Structure 1
């Protein structure tokens, strides 16, 4: 598996991964409200690292480096559970200064378990009912 910085040429594949992953996992959000353009809107000004194998993009992480913040981590549903997310998180840890932070939607139990199992700590739960998320930290 190759981990590298994304270029604009990768964006068509990244848009699809972002859309398909959210539609597959975000059961609490109306799937009809999700579009391919969301990727571009939700990653403005972010540093994007991707994982690929045989020139096929498997997933990505987008970072807001000034705040040592992981904004998005998405793996194509076909490659979930195969170590892609862990390698992307490790690349994020190498790129930024500790402590790193992220927010994870409370209803996303699979993602919460992934982060906890990879050394992240839940700091505080925030948000209104139906929109709660955990602020998590990696030291």
Structure 2
């Protein structure tokens, strides 16, 4: 079985990317599937791309297995969501490794405090907690992290 290929997302995939994003977010237990949530994510993808997102997907022979949104000028890993059927297969780790090729020196991210599985994973991957703030748009407490390349120790 081949591994999904990480590539730039196409505009005709945005609706499916929003669906994968929603299902992955729902898998955290912090939301429920709804047409309203899906519509908001669809609109957000288009808005965020206009505001500078570089959007990537993990493509498993035509099936979107994950989405990755980076804001390269801000050195920001904005979204990394793996479809539930692909979770636990190291796809998130592959996407993070890809991200480090795009942002090799330093990057930032934020994670919902209640999504403990995610932020503990980022900490294991070398991200350092910096602060917490309430996100006014949704009321979630966000944990902010930074990763800095320590360089080659050899």
Q: Same fold (TM over 0.5)?
A: yes
Q: Which residue of 2 aligns with 1:44?
A: 49
Decide whether aligned partners of structure 1 residues 39 and 72 sit closer, same or farther in structure 2, where only a CA change above 3 A counts.
farther
Task: Give the Cα separation in 1 of the matches to 2:32 and 2:15.
Answer: 22
Secondary structure at the counterpart of residue 107 of structure 1: coil
Q: Which residue of 2 aligns with 1:25?
A: 28
Match of 1:14 among 17, 21, 34: 17
- Which segment is superposed worse, 68-77 or 48-57? 48-57
Report 1:52-67 matches (<5 A): 52-67=59-74
Q: Which residue of 2 aligns with 1:135?
A: 144
Q: Deviations over 1:53-112 (max 9, x none)?
A: 222211011011110001111100111111111111111111125210000111100101
Task: Give the Cα separation in 2 of the matches to 1:90 and 1:39.
Answer: 26
Q: Which ranges in structure 2 are unaligned for 5 or more consecutive residues?
A: 149-154
Task: Give the Cα separation in 2 of the matches to 1:50 and 1:99.
Answer: 22
Task: Give the Cα separation in 2 of the matches to 1:55 and 1:31.
Answer: 23
Decide whether aligned partners of structure 1 residues 40 and 65 sit closer, same or farther in structure 2, where only a CA change above 3 A counts.
farther
Secondary structure at the counterpart of residue 34 of structure 1: helix
Task: Give the Cα separation in 1 of the matches to 2:23 and 2:140.
Answer: 21
- Give the CA deviation at 1:121: 1.2
- Give the CA deviation at 1:119: 1.4
Q: Which residue of 1 aligns with 2:126?
A: 119
Do the aligned residues in 1 keep the contact of 2:54 with 2:71 (CA within 8 Å)? yes
Do the aligned residues in 1 keep the contact of 2:15 with 2:42 (CA within 8 Å)? no
- Give the CA deviation at 1:4: 0.9
